Structure formats: C-alpha cells, structure tokens
Structure 1
Amino acid sequence: MNAPIESSQMRLVALPRLAAAGRWRVEAMRTLSEPCFLWFTKGQGRITVAGVTRGYTAHNAIYIPAGVMHGFEVGPQVFGTAVFFGRDTTVTLPSQPQHLRIREVHAQQEVNVILDMIQREMDSTTPAHERATRHYLGLLGVWLERQSVKAAAETAPPDAARRLVARFTQLMEREFRQGLGVGDMAARLDVTPTHLTRCCRQTCGRSAIDLLQDRRIFEALRLLSETDTPVGRIGESLGFNSPAYFTRAFQNMTGVSPTAFRRSL
C-alpha cells in the first residue's frame, strides 16, 4: 500500500512526484488537512479550487488552505514545487485560496530563492538548520501575503456563481459520506439543482453531480490504496446504497472495478 501524502511535518515535493503513485492522487477532487502552496516553473494545465477551474502556466503560484477542495492536472511536461506546511504550522498564511500569476521577474526570482533555501536548510545538518527552515517558511508566507494583496487590488471580486460553487464544495466536503444527492445539497444552499449545476458548469465546466461523484470516488481510491477495509464497507461508508451501485459508479469513473484497482497496487 502507498503511504498517505499528508503529514504533520512540513515538506517540499517536486510536482512530478505527486502523481508518481497515480495521477488520481492529484487530479481527483479532494481536500487536505494542511495548507499547500504550488509553484509551477514549467508546463501548463488546469486546476480546480473550490469549484472554480482556471488554467495555469509557468510562474503561477497557487495557495490552497486546509479543507479546501481541489484537483489539478500534472502532465509529463509540468515541473515545479509543492510545499506542504504540515497540519500544525505556525506560519501566517492567507485564509482564502489564491491563484497568482507572477509576471514580475524579481518576484519570480525571490520565491525561487526562498524555496531553494528552505530545501537547503532541510537537507542540512548544521546547527540551527531547523530554526532556519522555519524562518524561511515565514518569508514564504510574507511573499505570498504581499503577492495576494497586490493581486486583490487588480482583480474584481468573485461573482455570485463562484460564491455559490465555493459554498457547494464546502458543504460537499462535510457531507459527501452521507449519501446526499445534488438535490439535497442544493436545498441546503437554498437554490434549485438546475441553478447549482448551471453555476458549476459556468465556473469549472463540470456538473454538480460530476464534482460530487469525483470527490466520493477519490475517497474510495484513497481507502482502497491505503487501508485494508473491505470493498463493500468502503462503499457503504461513502453513502452508496448497495455494493453493485458502488462498483458501477467506481468503474464508470476509473475504468476498473474497486477489487481490480486494489489488486493492481
């Protein structure tokens, strides 16, 4: 079984390594219990954060707070660094997701130097290297705050569709194990299922049911790969009404049955 990506410890991971154990680990909708910072230095793709899909290219910085649903493409030509701050981080970080397009060369160089110094101190055995690592992490937080403030001054506030889809993804993360459908969630958000789906398609090009099913199947993939929980119990824990329905939904999204996926690990 593959070890979980998450940890209470801060770490830097090259972006291609995130998908080394399966692209589903980064592409499917999921949340982390720790903040994450993505710095892309080469390549392009799409990333969905809180139900909003945008393209990314080189010199894009993306910050994802703990508990925010997201998923992104990592193709063979994509390079960069992911910083996982750890569940108990004391670094001051933005409270909202950020997608920053860093066009100024000096700002690009600045974050590259900070990330290099964090890695160097993490690999070092010299005295006080752990304290130095924490200080450089603090500088990364300062860099992110400054770039976020600058971007906010240049960007229009989110529209009603984005606000609704963000609320939907937050509700989904709390309730996706309960077997609720899109109609149930739309009712809790005081909108119709049709309006909710229209907004989801507007912000990320996918329907509300696609987002919900993606989140549930990601959790199934994680449990199948990281635990020995029986297949039937996994489906039940995710709100599927029957083992047959779970198997059919899983196979429709992944191309294989839950049992076959587990055997392939």
Structure 2
Amino acid sequence: MTRIPDQPKRLRIVPISKLAAAPKWQLETLRALREPVFFWFTAGQGRITLGGSTRGVHPHNAIYIPPGTMYGFQAMTRTQGVALHMGDPTGLDLPETPLHLRLRDGSQHAEVAQIMDAIQRELEGAKDFAERAARHQIGLLAIWLERQRSSAGDDSPRGLSSTNANERLTARYSTLLERSFGSALNVGDYAQALGVTPTHLTRACRASCGRTALQLVQERRLYEARRLLSETDVPVQDIARNLGFSTPGYFSRAFSAHTGTAPSLYRKARGA
C-alpha cells in the first residue's frame, strides 16, 4: 500500500490575500495543519471557526493556531495581512492552546508588525543563517503571545477561555476527529468516547460552528481526499482505504456526490 504523505512543514510567510483567493473548500473546510500558524489581519473582515466556535475576524486581529487544531475560514474576501507558517515547532516554546487576540492598542499593532517584518526580511534576504534568525524572531513572537494572553481579563474577547459548554464539547470532538478522521469511526463512536449521545454531540456542533457532527467527519475526510488527489500521485484505492472508506467504489460515490466529479477526473483536471 502506498504511504500517504503528510502536508509539508516549511517556514514561510504567505499574504492572506493569496490564501483568500484559494478555492472555497480549502478555506472553509475544518482541518488542521501539522505545523503552528500565526495570522495577522490588517484589513477586511471574515469569520474563523477555531477551538470549537465561530467568531468574527477584523483588522488588527492576531490568531495563533497550534499544530493539530482544526480551523476553517469563511468569507475571506478583501482581507489583508500575513500568515506565518512556522514549520517544525521543535524548540520554539509556543503556546499549546489557540489564541484569538483583538488588539486595540496602537503599541500592540506596532510590536507584532515589527516582529513579522523582521521574519519576512530574513526569509526574503537569503543571507547566511536566515532561517535560524527567523526562528529566533518566532521565539520573540511566542513571548509576545504569552504576554498578550496573560494580560487578557476573564471577560476579554481576545482569548478563547470564555467558551461555553457546546464550544468546549465541539473542541474536544474536533481534537479526536483530527487524530482519527482516517479511521472508520462514526459519530456514535466519537460520542461514546466523549461520554455523550450522538444527538447531544450533533446539537453542540451545530450550535458552535453551524455544522453537524456528521458533516464535520465528512468534510474532513473529503478535504484530505482533495488534497491528496491534487498534490500527490497516491492511487485512489489507497486514498479510500486510508480515509476510512470501506471500498474504493463507496469513496468514489461519496466524493462525486460532494464535488460533482469522480476522483480520477478531479485529479486529471488538476494535473496531479
């Protein structure tokens, strides 16, 4: 059986406007990366589902997403800013939980902008030890994040500590789902592991992020299928098997129903 490749981990900065131009499924599907990501928004508006809840995104919002945390964006039109993909997080001492910081003070804006500019200069300058220098700047960013989190009060919207019961349950479900979406586990299995009924889990997911528990499973598997069909030459039958589908035929029908295109035609259209 062909080994399914992971998403690459590489230190880089990407304009958010470029991310916003990606296909809708790449933006809105809840998924997780295996590297930490930091978003700094300077203009425009949108919505992000993070930590089990959906929240608005506005200028001067800073969002940190640890590896393995499911997230998705909505309506990211005319947004500006940068996304820092941090690559291998080893030795960076970053926060373990997601953060959504709404920065109102001009000095805060200047601090984060200065760090991001320094990282970008190192990555674009191609000098000796550029990536090493950039990682030291990320260390400063990690300290900045911790300071911002510790200064937020309990009633501050900047953190994610004020989540309700539905959001906390959805976050726990999302964590389990990200670990096991390639298995044949169903919503009932996840609900049992979480100590709730499938109905309660579905109600919590819908209240938190507007999707049912089943939709989250289906969307995550099909997001990975699209990624593998677009970016790799892994055989369709191996993709089906590694994403928990009982047969390649069942996978093909589910993929076609969701996208309107058979897996083989989808891959051919994207030249993978």
Fold-level similarity (TM above 0.5): yes
Q: How does 1:148-163 map to 2 (within 5 A)?
A: 148-155=149-156, 157-163=162-168
User: Which residue, 177, 184, 193 being the options, matches 2:189?
Assistant: 184
Residue aligning to 2:109? 108
Q: Distance in 2 between matches of 1:126 and 1:251?
A: 48
The amino acid of 1:208's aligned partner reads A
Q: Distance in 1 between matches of 2:226 and 2:130?
A: 37
Residue aligning to 1:146? 147
Deviations along 1:160-202, one digit per CA (max 9) or x if unpaired, are: 2222111111111122111111111111111101100110011
Query: Which shows bigger deviation, 255-264 or 91-100?
Result: 255-264
Residue aligning to 1:79? 80
Could you tell me how far 1:69 is from its partner in structure 2?
A: 1.1
Could you tell me how far 1:23 is from its partner in structure 2?
A: 3.9
Q: Distance in 2 between matches of 1:118 and 1:213?
A: 37
Residue aligning to 2:246? 241
Q: Distance in 1 between matches of 2:132 and 2:219?
A: 40
Residue aligning to 1:28? 29
Could you tell me how far 1:154 is from its partner in structure 2?
A: 3.2
Deviations along 1:47-84, one digit per CA (max 9) or x if unpaired, are: 11233211211111111101111121363411211111
Query: Which shows bigger deviation, 153-162 or 221-230?
Result: 153-162
SS of alignment partner, residue 181 of structure 2: helix
Query: Which shows bigger deviation, 15-24 or 251-260?
Result: 15-24
User: Which residue, 191, 194, 202 being the options, matches 1:197?
Assistant: 202
Could you tell me how far 1:131 is from its partner in structure 2?
A: 4.6
Could you tell me how far 1:149 is from its partner in structure 2?
A: 1.8
Q: How does 1:7-156 map to 2 (within 5 A)?
A: 7=9, 9-18=10-19, 22-73=23-74, 75-126=76-127, 129-155=130-156
**Would you say how many aligned residue pairs link Structure 1 and Structure 2?**
262
The amino acid of 1:161's aligned partner reads N
| Cα pair distance change 1:59/1:254, threshold 3 Å | farther
The amino acid of 2:58's aligned partner reads T
The answer as to 2:245 corresponding to 1:218 is no
Could you tell me how far 1:230 is from its partner in structure 2?
A: 2.0
Q: Distance in 1 between matches of 2:47 and 2:269?
A: 28
Q: Distance in 1 between matches of 2:28 and 2:235?
A: 25
Q: TM-score, normalised by structure 1?
A: 0.89
Contact 1:45 1:56 in 2 (8 A): yes
Query: Which shows bigger deviation, 234-243 or 149-158?
Result: 149-158
Q: Distance in 2 between matches of 1:122 and 1:99?
A: 25
| Cα pair distance change 1:5/1:43, threshold 3 Å | farther
Contact 1:47 1:71 in 2 (8 A): yes
Could you tell me how far 1:241 is from its partner in structure 2?
A: 2.3
The amino acid of 2:41's aligned partner reads F
Gaps of 5+ in 2: none
Q: Alignment RMSD, CA only?
A: 2.2
Could you tell me how far 1:104 is from its partner in structure 2?
A: 1.4
Could you tell me how far 1:138 is from its partner in structure 2?
A: 1.9
Deviations along 1:110-156, one digit per CA (max 9) or x if unpaired, are: 21121111111222255664454233222211221122222354346
Identical-pair percentage: 49
Q: Distance in 1 between matches of 2:214 and 2:174?
A: 11
The amino acid of 1:222's aligned partner reads R
Q: Distance in 1 between matches of 2:164 and 2:82?
A: 30
Query: Which shows bigger deviation, 41-50 or 213-222?
Result: 41-50
| Cα pair distance change 1:165/1:175, threshold 3 Å | same
Query: Which shows bigger deviation, 249-258 or 80-89?
Result: 249-258
Could you tell me how far 1:208 is from its partner in structure 2?
A: 0.6
Q: How does 1:254-265 map to 2 (within 5 A)?
A: 254-265=259-270
Contact 1:19 1:25 in 2 (8 A): no
